[in-house]
A and B are shown apart, each in its own frame.
Chain A
Amino acid sequence: MSTEGTVLSDVRPAHSHRRSAGFANTLRGIYIVWYRDLLRYWRDRVRAVVGLAQPLLFLVVFGAGLGSSLGGSFGGGANGGASLSYAQFVYPGVVGMAVLFSAIFGAMSIVWDREFGFLKEILVAPIDRSAVAIGKALGGATQAMIQGVILLVLAPVIGVTLDLGTVLLLLPFLFILAFALSAMGVALASRMKSMQGFQIVMNFLMMPMFFLSGSLFPLTGVPDWMAVLGRLDPVTYGMDPIRRIVLGATLPPDAVNALGLTIFDQVLPIGVEALILLGFGAAMLAIGVANFRRRD
């Protein structure tokens, strides 16, 4: 094939499409960074589904194993009537776990991109670098939310009733949890130079955050220190509304309420929990943006 005749036709001045409004520029940057993350997620969908193996393992091992030794009326005892198996109790926690894990691993793609050079391509682009941090946080959050939603198909097997309204109500809460954790991952990954370093830090954070969040056991009747730590754990404010919404159609309202997270014996409304988590996510995102804007 001869390319001798190829003439790059466009000779309009290179400046013409550079001076678009800064805000529109940033939105465009956020969109394309988010879009690339989803494109990669879709291309790697087999691996994404395999990533659900760990939450499923927790569900099976804890649900069946721990469940049988705890007996059949978990969590509902206080209210008499409604009874709840441990598998039913732990199921929303496992959905939250899938969100937690994939949000954090999603942020690892930043370290990955740095190691493989692609991050440079993004960082030299004529967009505000806040777009990179925000796009990455939203991309990771979207993937993590999808991972959580996939696990919802197991509800009938566990004996949890889900209706469309429940699922629709659940989506924003899944997303807020995913966003907050993804933003935390971005804040950390923005300073990390090596994959190993990121993995070590993440393992130190992820497991305690998961265990203390009330996902495997309720934060009532635990030692005081754990009750305090659990309430300092941002994941707690994501797990609790997820559990209350997922079990909403299975249990009577006051039984659901009895499961709710309390602060000074007051059950927190799920909206307040969402706001706490959003605040945490916004703070983390601000750190991530500041880190990305730094130039040596």
Chain B
Amino acid sequence: MKVESSKLKARSFGMILLLLTTFCILPPAFPAGERWSGVDESVIEKYAKEQGREAREPFINTDQGDLLLFVFLMAGAIGGFIAGYYWRKLTEKRVD
């Protein structure tokens, strides 16, 4: 079992390494100027603009400077805490 498991770990590691190398080598499908923009910009807003429609500012606009980073970090931290709390509740304490 231990031998099988370590073989599998080595294979998984090799596969991941190969995958990451392929990802890094392959040329991106979008021009360099648009790299790492979300598909909302590169697809949704691009085609909407072509058809004469543009995105409006959100009702509560948190997309200003580092404010968006802050709200995303808070959302991730709170969401992560809730997920961890319920995971522990599910796996350690039987409710019924």
Q: Do A and B come from one complex?
A: no
Which residues of A does B touch, CB under 8 Å? none
